[in-house]
Homo-oligomer: A and B are copies of this chain.
């Protein structure tokens, strides 16, 4: 039975405040990302890897999950995801600037998240290693009889690592509460998806006996719905779900990449126009959650936060050199 008086997000169980907050987080991620890119260009930082074009799906997924309760295993482009589950822009900026106060002590490349308090599981560079970890976390949830899911993301290129397949099979056999979300941004560095992925990623789920769903990653509500349903499935013991969220990597792979070597400006421009944040904004206008004035103030707030975070992180000190010796093992005091 349809409920014609409710807006689409309300039908999905999202309040107006929630969708506004989603919009704010998408913007925050975007503005953080643009700033981090500029900072890198200015020479203040060595490296940035961008999530522009992927924020919509990340925020939407996060809102379908439970903060500080479910476990999150992001990959390196998931700024919007980690912001949505509890990290602050200041924390992201501290990581960007590699400062001592960064939760990882300035040790990791930017985009390598980890924050126990927020259930953001520590990640590394070798792609896809997090997939079996998510399966293990889901297994632990079942063993402890806790009502939690593990949510893990990875790129479409990374889906070709053996660990993804082994994780899928393991989770499939034990019907574990894990959600696999592939952020298919159509490139793995220079390699387009069709030269990287034989068949379709979404179709791989069937080979492991669980559902695969392909969604438009630029459509926040579609992603939200798919993740919500996957979470419900997981919690009622029906096992994992694979979600393939289709999107497009707007920027080059990283600040070290020149994407004009392997794609055209036209192609990029075309995809810029499909921007999920912009269409979500339009949707919010249409259903009256957002108006020009509110939008302006949201934008101002976001910019202020980004500015303050950048200023703070820029000034913060680097980690102590000797701190390099700490935390190899449990007891402190060096290697």
Contact = CB atoms under 8 A, between A and B. Distances in A.
A203 B208 CA distance: 8
Interface string A183-210: 0000000000001111111011111111
Contacts of A160: 165-166, 169
Contacts of A274: none
Q: Give the interface size bracket for A toward B.
A: 20 to 34
A248 to B, nearest CB: 21
Contact of A207 (B172, B207, B210): B207
Given A160-B166, A162-B165, A207 B203 contact: yes
A163 interface: yes
B200 A207 contact: yes
A161 interface: yes
A163 B171 CA distance: 18
A260 B231 CA distance: 40
A168 interface: yes
A162 B172 contact: no
Interface string A113-144: 00000000000000000000000000000000
Nearest to A239: B198
Nearest to A201: B207
A173 interface: yes
A164 interface: yes
Contacts of A166: 160-162, 165
A207 B206 contact: yes
Contact of A164 (B165, B197, B204): B165
Q: Which residue among A169, A172, A203, A206 has the maximum number of chain B CB atoms within 10 Å of its CB? A: A169
Nearest to A195: B173
A204 B205 CA distance: 8
In the complex, the 6 A-B pairs of residues with the closest C-beta atoms, listed nearest first? A162-B162, A172-B198, A204-B207, A165-B165, A199-B209, A198-B208
Interface of A: 160-166, 168-173, 195-201, 203-210
13 contacts: A160-B165, A160-B169, A165-B165, A170-B198, A171-B198, A173-B195, A173-B197, A199-B209, A199-B210, A200-B209, A204-B204, A205-B207, A206-B207
Given A198-B209, A206-B207, 12 more contacts: A160-B165, A160-B169, A162-B162, A162-B163, A162-B166, A164-B165, A169-B198, A172-B199, A173-B195, A201-B207, A204-B204, A207-B207
